[in-house]
Chains A and B, each alone.
Chain A
Amino acid sequence: MSQLFPVSHAPHIRDKSSTNRIMLYVIIALLPTTLFGIINFGFSALLLVLVTIASAVLAEWAFNKITKRKETIQDLSAVVTGLLLALNLPPTLPLWMGILGSAFAIVVVKCLFGGLGQNFMNPALGARCFLLISFTGPMTTYATSVFDKTDAVSGPTPLAILKAGQTVDTLQMLIGTIGGTIGETSVIAILIGAIFLILMGVIDLRIPASYLISFVVFILLFGGHGFDLGFAVAQLCGGGIMLGAFFMATDYSTSPITPRGKIVFGILLGVLNGLFRMFGASAEGCSFAIIFGNLLVPLIERVTIPKPFGKGGER
């Protein structure tokens, strides 16, 4: 018996999950809406997506090099951030603004707060709001879909039309042949990705469902249209709420880890989003609702500590 075996703490086996694999699933889930965005808006959209992803990865690589940290780009989280940011940008945005946004998302929002898992705000949405405030003009000029039969180069999004009191074609919004940011227009493409993520166990329905349901309830109560389901559906299909509910609000680091907290968080987002859309200056509101919700996560977790096994049940 000369051979000595290495010892370690139990458990001595692990399942096959990894951070890397989770990020890969998110990227795969985002592909349908990304592809649709590229078809819907053409080459400029493709270019912006590629540039934003590349600059996000580069920014993380450079940050790690300069601050002499262990390289982390292989975990693919920078790719996810870059891609999500691109999907939240109008396709006509100047490329350098996309690069600036990526750098802001990675360096300021993520890395400076300790990197993956430590950021308190969704990096992509943080960067989007940063760009929105800094470059309001280019950020709110929405190119029309290539399927648009008018000759207009850009025009109001369906949400803006709704806000102005006119009606919109809900079917077009479901398919996504409308103006908007690159990745937010097609509800169907987003849902395909979302179903994939749910089936793979990456996200659960708690946040998206409570978000969307409370949003619809808010719209029906305070939307000013009475009990108008058509209006509520148009509101659901318009703007970034679908992309936000399934892909941004469910961001692990910036949403509560407690099961009940997830539901509280979702309801909060739904109400905030309704509030911003109905009574705010802009027709949108998803990004700000999620970012504001992110800030309240530690508080939500504190009041939703789960009841452990055997307590609260039969004593």
Chain B
Amino acid sequence: MGSGTFKGGVHPYDGKELSKYKQVREILPKGDVIYSLSQHIGAPSKPVVGQGDYVKCGQVIAEADGFVSATVHASVSGKVSAIERRLNATGIKVLSIVIENDGQFTSFDFHETADVNTLSKEEIGKKIQEAGIIGLGGAGFPTHVKLTPKDPDKIKYVIANCAECEPYVTVDYRRMIENAEQLIAGMKIVLQLFDNAKGVFAIEDNKPDCIEKMQELLKNEDRIEVQILHTKYPQGAERQQIFAVTGLAIHSKQLPADVGCIVDNAETFFAIYNAVKLGRPLIERLVTVTGGGIADPSNFLIRIGTNFSELLEAAGGFIGQPEKLLFGGPMMGFAGTCTDVPTMKTTSMLLSLLTDEMSALTPTPCINCGRCVEVCPSGLVPSRLAKQAQRKQNADFEKWNGLECIECACCTYGCPAKQPLVSDIKLMKKRILTKKRQQAAREKKEGEAK
């Protein structure tokens, strides 16, 4: 078993008290709903509806293009008004399906399974795939791919990532408080796929109420337990979490399954329960709307694709003079220019900060203090990597293990010289990986020519 912690990490102000005690409220979209076709990692989904088609809630509007891809369902009823490139929360324009919401929410009938224990592994896998479930913690990796490792019998741990280490966000917290039974049911469904695995709910010790509740509910379960984690960012990072729970460490070229682990976010387990037990596709999720710039910080159950502006309105709009708008957490989320973008499957939070700390700071020279080395959970030397990135020294960057960076941003957070270390490193990683891919493609082509 692991120690519940790992080396490195930081302790930012977590701001969770703003929204953690707010019960989840359901909000239904009033305006148009937009579905990005690239919400997940992998090939973009292919639209299967045309402009002018009438669709119902739960209807497939785009299907997976290949195995590593995901299905997209309508979350409202109405007419498809456009299939075109639209701005999303990460600041890029992607092909999206726009549905003119008729406000009726006419829905397909979803078929509940009376006893999930009777389902075969294949049936469970198929239901998860058809529901369009992807990693709801933020990465968006298709869940059915994760759940089909090469050798299912070697899986020893199925970990429900309930760390929620990003400041402010309280989605997993509310799920555990309000839907603990369903989360456990979701876990049991996944355990049906892996005969030798045990389930672990990994929860940070800043949520003692959740820990107590889960432990109480799990006291008669011999295959599922709770692992208490130290409260520290990035406790929810996959590699760090596997280490904290099992004591096993993987590097960038390994998958969790290589050491017998499957890690999924709490919200994903809820979606699995919905899909397998209730037959409902992934059309809803929890989103926290919070921050010093929000009048009434809230947790909402939303229809995926709802415009962020509607979420903001439901939370009472802005208060004071917020200077920053973030989609996702302050450590890894994206800054947005406005709220007029759609929510996605991977959306966990809309955060509005009263002060824009970043604009007020000017980087000063690196003094080689080594704070970045201390906080780096991957055991790297970020200040050196950033310099190598600026000078485009690819070979040195790789020699100093730059490709092992998980982009958690602890180095930038803790840097006294306010250097944008992680930004430089991310860019360099992208550059090197692209080059490698191109090289591999070239070699493959040459090989075929021969």
Contact = CB atoms under 8 A, between A and B. Distances in A.
Contact of A117 (B249, B250, B333, B368): B368
A4 interface: yes
B414 interface: yes
A87 B353 CA distance: 46
Nearest to A23: B367
Given A3-B338, A17-B416, A308 B380 contact: yes
A19 B417 contact: yes
Given A309-B378, A314-B248, A13 B369 contact: no
A192 to B, nearest CB: 22
B366 interface: yes
Interface string B244-263: 00001111101000010000
Nearest to B364: A19
Contacts of B47: none
A53 to B, nearest CB: 19
B326 A15 contact: no
A6 B323 CA distance: 8
B365 A115 contact: yes
Interface string A242-282: 00000000001101011100000000000000000000000
B52 to A, nearest CB: 28
Given A7-B91, A257-B384, A258-B381, A309 B369 contact: no
A66 interface: no
Contacts of B251: 308-311
B90 to A, nearest CB: 11
B324 A5 contact: yes
Nearest to A310: B251
B369 A22 contact: yes
A9, A12, A17, most chain B CB atoms within 10 A: A12
| Binding site secondary structure of chain B | loop
A307 interface: yes
Contacts of B323: 5-6
Contact of B361 (A7, A14, A253, A314): A14
B335 interface: yes
B128 to A, nearest CB: 28
B220 interface: no
Given A257-B384, A306-B381, A309-B239, A11 B404 contact: no
B413 A9 contact: no
Given A12-B357, A252-B368, A306 B373 contact: yes
Contacts of A307: 379
B379 A7 contact: no
Interface stretch (B93-101, B221-229, B418-426): B418-426
B413 A11 contact: yes
A113 B7 CA distance: 35
A305 interface: yes
Contact of B420 (A9, A116, A305): A9
Contacts of A6: 323-324, 335, 356, 359
Interface of A: 1, 3-15, 17-19, 21-22, 75, 77, 115-118, 252-253, 255, 257-259, 301, 305-311, 313-314
Given A11-B413, A15-B413, A18-B416, 18 more contacts: A7-B337, A8-B335, A8-B359, A10-B330, A12-B358, A13-B331, A17-B416, A18-B417, A117-B365, A117-B367, A117-B368, A253-B367, A255-B368, A305-B399, A308-B380, A309-B249, A309-B251, A310-B250
**CB-based closest 3 A-B pairs:** A310-B251, A11-B409, A7-B335
